[in-house]
Amino acid sequence: MTDTSSMPLIGDKFPEVEVKTTHGTIKLPAYYKGKWFVLFSHPADFTPVCTTEFVAFAKKAEAFKELGAELIGLSIDQVFSHIKWVEWIKDNLNVDIPFPIIADHGDMAKTMGMVHPGKASNTVRAVFIVDDKGTIRLIIYYPQEVGRSVDEVLRALKALKTSDEKGVSMPENWPNSEMLGNKVIIPPAATVDEAYKRKGGPGYDWWFNTKDL
Protein backbone atom coordinates (compact mmCIF):
# COMPACT_ATOMS: atom_id res chain seq x y z
CA MET A 1 0.00 0.00 0.00
CA THR A 2 1.07 3.58 -0.62
CA ASP A 3 1.92 5.61 2.47
CA THR A 4 -0.38 8.61 2.40
CA SER A 5 0.16 9.70 6.00
CA SER A 6 1.87 12.92 4.90
CA MET A 7 -0.80 13.87 2.39
CA PRO A 8 -2.82 16.94 3.36
CA LEU A 9 -6.54 16.56 3.84
CA ILE A 10 -9.51 18.86 3.39
CA GLY A 11 -9.49 21.22 6.36
CA ASP A 12 -5.71 21.10 6.82
CA LYS A 13 -3.58 24.19 6.54
CA PHE A 14 -1.65 24.42 3.29
CA PRO A 15 2.01 23.60 4.09
CA GLU A 16 4.42 26.53 4.19
CA VAL A 17 6.85 26.12 1.30
CA GLU A 18 9.18 28.23 -0.81
CA VAL A 19 9.00 27.40 -4.50
CA LYS A 20 10.69 28.45 -7.72
CA THR A 21 8.22 29.55 -10.40
CA THR A 22 8.08 31.23 -13.78
CA HIS A 23 7.28 34.45 -11.88
CA GLY A 24 10.22 34.12 -9.50
CA THR A 25 10.64 32.52 -6.08
CA ILE A 26 7.54 32.74 -3.91
CA LYS A 27 6.39 31.48 -0.53
CA LEU A 28 3.12 29.62 -0.20
CA PRO A 29 0.54 30.23 1.10
CA ALA A 30 1.85 33.67 2.18
CA TYR A 31 2.11 34.87 -1.44
CA TYR A 32 -1.68 34.75 -1.69
CA LYS A 33 -2.42 36.06 1.80
CA GLY A 34 -6.02 37.27 1.99
CA LYS A 35 -6.90 35.56 -1.31
CA TRP A 36 -8.13 32.16 -2.39
CA PHE A 37 -5.89 30.24 -4.77
CA VAL A 38 -6.15 27.16 -6.95
CA LEU A 39 -3.03 25.01 -7.21
CA PHE A 40 -3.14 22.44 -10.00
CA SER A 41 -0.47 19.97 -11.06
CA HIS A 42 0.13 18.49 -14.49
CA PRO A 43 2.25 15.47 -15.52
CA ALA A 44 4.69 17.30 -17.80
CA ASP A 45 5.30 20.26 -20.08
CA PHE A 46 4.95 19.80 -23.84
CA THR A 47 2.28 17.10 -23.53
CA PRO A 48 -1.02 17.32 -25.42
CA VAL A 49 -3.57 16.87 -22.61
CA CYS A 50 -1.70 19.28 -20.32
CA THR A 51 -1.57 21.86 -23.10
CA THR A 52 -5.35 21.72 -23.53
CA GLU A 53 -5.77 22.20 -19.78
CA PHE A 54 -3.41 25.17 -19.58
CA VAL A 55 -5.18 26.88 -22.46
CA ALA A 56 -8.51 26.37 -20.68
CA PHE A 57 -7.19 27.64 -17.33
CA ALA A 58 -5.64 30.67 -19.04
CA LYS A 59 -8.89 31.55 -20.81
CA LYS A 60 -10.79 31.31 -17.50
CA ALA A 61 -8.16 33.13 -15.41
CA GLU A 62 -10.21 36.33 -15.25
CA ALA A 63 -13.27 34.40 -14.12
CA PHE A 64 -11.23 33.00 -11.22
CA LYS A 65 -9.99 36.52 -10.40
CA GLU A 66 -13.56 37.80 -10.33
CA LEU A 67 -14.20 35.26 -7.57
CA GLY A 68 -11.14 36.49 -5.67
CA ALA A 69 -8.94 33.53 -6.56
CA GLU A 70 -5.54 33.16 -8.24
CA LEU A 71 -4.19 30.24 -10.27
CA ILE A 72 -0.82 28.52 -9.92
CA GLY A 73 0.39 25.45 -11.81
CA LEU A 74 3.00 22.81 -10.94
CA SER A 75 4.97 19.97 -12.46
CA ILE A 76 8.32 18.29 -11.95
CA ASP A 77 9.98 20.22 -14.76
CA GLN A 78 12.64 22.91 -14.67
CA VAL A 79 11.81 26.60 -14.99
CA PHE A 80 13.34 26.89 -18.45
CA SER A 81 11.05 24.10 -19.67
CA HIS A 82 8.00 25.90 -18.25
CA ILE A 83 9.10 29.17 -19.88
CA LYS A 84 9.66 27.52 -23.26
CA TRP A 85 6.30 25.75 -23.08
CA VAL A 86 4.52 29.00 -22.20
CA GLU A 87 6.29 30.60 -25.16
CA TRP A 88 5.19 27.73 -27.44
CA ILE A 89 1.55 28.13 -26.34
CA LYS A 90 1.70 31.86 -27.07
CA ASP A 91 3.40 31.43 -30.44
CA ASN A 92 1.29 28.53 -31.70
CA LEU A 93 -2.07 28.94 -29.98
CA ASN A 94 -2.06 32.70 -29.35
CA VAL A 95 -2.86 32.21 -25.65
CA ASP A 96 -1.00 33.97 -22.84
CA ILE A 97 -0.45 31.99 -19.64
CA PRO A 98 -0.89 34.70 -16.97
CA PHE A 99 -0.29 32.62 -13.84
CA PRO A 100 2.96 31.27 -12.35
CA ILE A 101 4.04 27.65 -12.80
CA ILE A 102 6.02 25.95 -10.04
CA ALA A 103 9.20 24.11 -11.06
CA ASP A 104 9.15 21.36 -8.47
CA HIS A 105 11.99 18.95 -7.80
CA GLY A 106 9.56 16.40 -6.41
CA ASP A 107 9.51 17.33 -2.73
CA MET A 108 6.34 19.42 -2.84
CA ALA A 109 4.59 16.98 -5.17
CA LYS A 110 5.30 14.09 -2.77
CA THR A 111 4.20 16.12 0.25
CA MET A 112 0.93 16.98 -1.49
CA GLY A 113 0.33 13.44 -2.71
CA MET A 114 0.65 14.36 -6.37
CA VAL A 115 3.00 11.53 -7.39
CA HIS A 116 1.50 8.11 -8.11
CA PRO A 117 4.01 5.28 -7.56
CA GLY A 118 2.81 3.51 -10.69
CA LYS A 119 3.42 6.54 -12.91
CA ALA A 120 7.15 7.14 -12.42
CA SER A 121 7.99 10.66 -11.19
CA ASN A 122 5.28 12.54 -13.07
CA THR A 123 2.55 14.27 -11.10
CA VAL A 124 -1.09 13.28 -11.46
CA ARG A 125 -3.68 15.95 -12.27
CA ALA A 126 -4.36 17.24 -8.76
CA VAL A 127 -6.37 20.33 -7.84
CA PHE A 128 -6.24 22.06 -4.45
CA ILE A 129 -8.58 24.95 -3.69
CA VAL A 130 -7.19 26.94 -0.77
CA ASP A 131 -9.15 29.68 0.99
CA ASP A 132 -8.05 33.14 2.11
CA LYS A 133 -6.99 31.75 5.49
CA GLY A 134 -4.65 29.19 3.95
CA THR A 135 -6.97 26.23 4.58
CA ILE A 136 -7.38 23.48 1.98
CA ARG A 137 -11.07 23.41 1.10
CA LEU A 138 -11.27 21.01 -1.84
CA ILE A 139 -9.06 18.34 -3.40
CA ILE A 140 -9.63 16.71 -6.79
CA TYR A 141 -7.46 14.05 -8.44
CA TYR A 142 -7.57 13.01 -12.07
CA PRO A 143 -5.37 10.34 -13.69
CA GLN A 144 -2.80 11.35 -16.26
CA GLU A 145 -4.94 10.00 -19.08
CA VAL A 146 -7.99 12.19 -18.41
CA GLY A 147 -8.05 15.97 -18.73
CA ARG A 148 -9.86 18.04 -16.12
CA SER A 149 -12.94 20.20 -16.52
CA VAL A 150 -11.82 23.74 -15.75
CA ASP A 151 -15.48 24.76 -15.64
CA GLU A 152 -15.98 22.28 -12.79
CA VAL A 153 -13.07 23.74 -10.82
CA LEU A 154 -14.56 27.20 -11.31
CA ARG A 155 -18.02 25.96 -10.33
CA ALA A 156 -16.67 24.29 -7.19
CA LEU A 157 -14.86 27.49 -6.18
CA LYS A 158 -18.03 29.53 -6.60
CA ALA A 159 -20.04 26.95 -4.65
CA LEU A 160 -17.54 26.95 -1.78
CA LYS A 161 -17.52 30.73 -1.51
CA THR A 162 -21.30 30.97 -1.71
CA SER A 163 -21.67 28.29 0.95
CA ASP A 164 -19.35 30.25 3.26
CA GLU A 165 -21.03 33.58 2.65
CA LYS A 166 -24.64 32.38 2.90
CA GLY A 167 -24.32 29.53 5.40
CA VAL A 168 -25.98 27.02 3.08
CA SER A 169 -25.13 23.76 1.31
CA MET A 170 -24.94 23.41 -2.42
CA PRO A 171 -26.73 20.64 -4.35
CA GLU A 172 -25.37 18.57 -7.21
CA ASN A 173 -23.97 20.74 -10.00
CA TRP A 174 -25.21 23.98 -8.41
CA PRO A 175 -26.33 26.41 -9.82
CA ASN A 176 -27.61 24.03 -12.49
CA SER A 177 -28.73 21.12 -10.37
CA GLU A 178 -30.77 18.45 -12.13
CA MET A 179 -33.12 18.31 -9.15
CA LEU A 180 -33.03 21.80 -7.61
CA GLY A 181 -31.88 24.16 -10.34
CA ASN A 182 -30.23 27.15 -8.66
CA LYS A 183 -31.82 26.63 -5.24
CA VAL A 184 -29.62 25.95 -2.20
CA ILE A 185 -30.10 23.73 0.84
CA ILE A 186 -30.47 25.26 4.29
CA PRO A 187 -28.84 23.63 7.35
CA PRO A 188 -30.87 20.76 8.85
CA ALA A 189 -33.11 21.25 11.86
CA ALA A 190 -31.25 20.95 15.17
CA THR A 191 -34.23 20.26 17.46
CA VAL A 192 -37.53 18.36 17.38
CA ASP A 193 -39.49 21.62 17.66
CA GLU A 194 -37.63 23.14 14.73
CA ALA A 195 -38.18 19.98 12.69
CA TYR A 196 -41.97 20.16 13.21
CA LYS A 197 -42.00 23.85 12.32
CA ARG A 198 -40.29 23.09 9.05
CA LYS A 199 -42.83 20.51 7.90
CA GLY A 200 -44.58 21.81 4.84
CA GLY A 201 -41.88 24.41 4.26
CA PRO A 202 -40.06 24.94 0.97
CA GLY A 203 -38.36 21.77 -0.14
CA TYR A 204 -39.20 18.12 0.44
CA ASP A 205 -39.27 17.53 4.20
CA TRP A 206 -38.01 19.00 7.49
CA TRP A 207 -34.56 17.55 6.84
CA PHE A 208 -34.47 18.70 3.21
CA ASN A 209 -35.48 22.36 3.04
CA THR A 210 -34.38 24.59 0.17
CA LYS A 211 -34.44 28.28 -0.67
CA ASP A 212 -33.57 30.75 -3.40
CA LEU A 213 -30.56 32.99 -2.88
- Is residue 21 within 8 Å of residue 111, measured between CB atoms? no
Confidence of residue 123 (pLDDT cuts 50, 70, 90): confident
**Domains of the chain and any CATH numbers:** 17-148 (3.40.30.10), 167-213 (3.30.1020.10)
- Region 88-100: mean pLDDT is 98
pLDDT of residue 120 exceeding 80, the answer is no
Task: Let me know if 50 is a catalytic residue.
Answer: yes
pLDDT digits (tens, 9 = 90+) for 133-158: 999 999 999 988 999 999 999 999 99
Q: Give 50-88 pLDDT, tens digit per residue.
A: 999 999 999 999 999 999 999 999 999 999 999 999 999
In angstroms, the CA 209 to CA 195 distance is: 10
Q: Of the listed 19, 39, 50, 108, which one is catalytic?
A: 50
